[in-house]
Amino acid sequence: MPTYHVWTLGCQMNQADSLKLIAGLEKIGYIAADEPDRADLAVVNTCSVRQHAEDRAYGRLHHLRQRRDRGEDLQIAVMGCMVGPEGDSQRTTLERRFPWVDVWARPQQFEPVLDAALERGGGERDVSEGEFWTETFGAPTGPTAFVPVIHGCDKFCTYCIVPLRRGREESREPGDVLAEVRHLAMLGVREVTLLGQTVEAYGHDLDAPADLATLFEGIEEIDGVERVRFLTSYP
């Protein structure tokens, strides 16, 4: 069976993204590599908030190039906040600097990585399940879990790059969030942290009225969840 390794830098949102990607990879037949340097697919989930995080990502990519130079049949993917939209000047610079990277994907953009993994692994996408990719919920590693509820940010603070990399605010439907929390509770999660760059803005962009209180009320009805936190509020 093909193997993967996901190397994650940055915030809790990136950690949640990596868990969702891992769930998707395992759903199409990939398994975690026993050792990172033996993975058939190496994913670097990047952060661009601090230079140190970018430097670590660059170092990892040069390490992966050494594996490729040794003739290893390795697929390399980069996702996260270092990757801008197609045509973005920073993304173009990265693509030229790291031509050995096979796949580039923005935050929450799982399809390019999963589709490339499917092509390499010879699996098939099960379209009978409807929204296949969005139903891959990250498996927890303990009794706590992060659950993104709103992506992006509309604030455009002078010092912050997040809106330029994660886009404008986009809330998940309450039903999607609660379905994920139910799934996590069934797996033994007892504490969930609702995530957003400006989490208190949740629901303002939805057609049907909803806010954080809507989620709290829904989670209260889910057996097994004993504590709910949220990150990060503005300011």
- In this predicted model, what pLDDT tens digit does every residue of 148-189 receive, in sequence order? 999 999 999 988 888 888 889 999 999 989 998 998 999 899
Whole-prediction pTM value?
0.85
Residue 19 backbone class (left: φ over 0; alpha: ψ -120 to 50; beta: rest): alpha
| Rounded Cα–Cα distance for residues 31 and 25 (Å) | 8
Same domain, yes or no: 171 and 101:
no
Residue 135 lies in a domain: no
Same domain, yes or no: 158 and 83:
no
Same domain, yes or no: 76 and 148:
no
- 35: its two tokens: 């050792």
Of 128, 155, 175, the one marking the end of a domain is 128
In angstroms, what CA-CA distances link 89 with 82, 84, 96, 104, 164?
11, 8, 11, 14, 12
Contact 190, 225 (CB under 8 A): yes
The pLDDT value recorded for residue 129 is 45
| For residues 63-81, average pLDDT | 94
Residue 188 lies in a domain: yes
Q: How many domains are contained in the chain?
A: 2
- In this predicted model, what pLDDT tens digit does every residue of 88-146 receive, in sequence order? 788 889 999 999 999 999 988 888 999 999 988 756 655 444 333 445 566 677 899 99
- In this predicted model, what pLDDT tens digit does every residue of 28-57 receive, in sequence order? 889 999 898 999 999 999 999 889 999 999
Owning domain of residue 96: 3-128
The pLDDT value recorded for residue 84 is 77
Nearest partner of 216 among 149, 140, 136, 138, judged by Cα: 149
Residue 134 lies in a domain: no
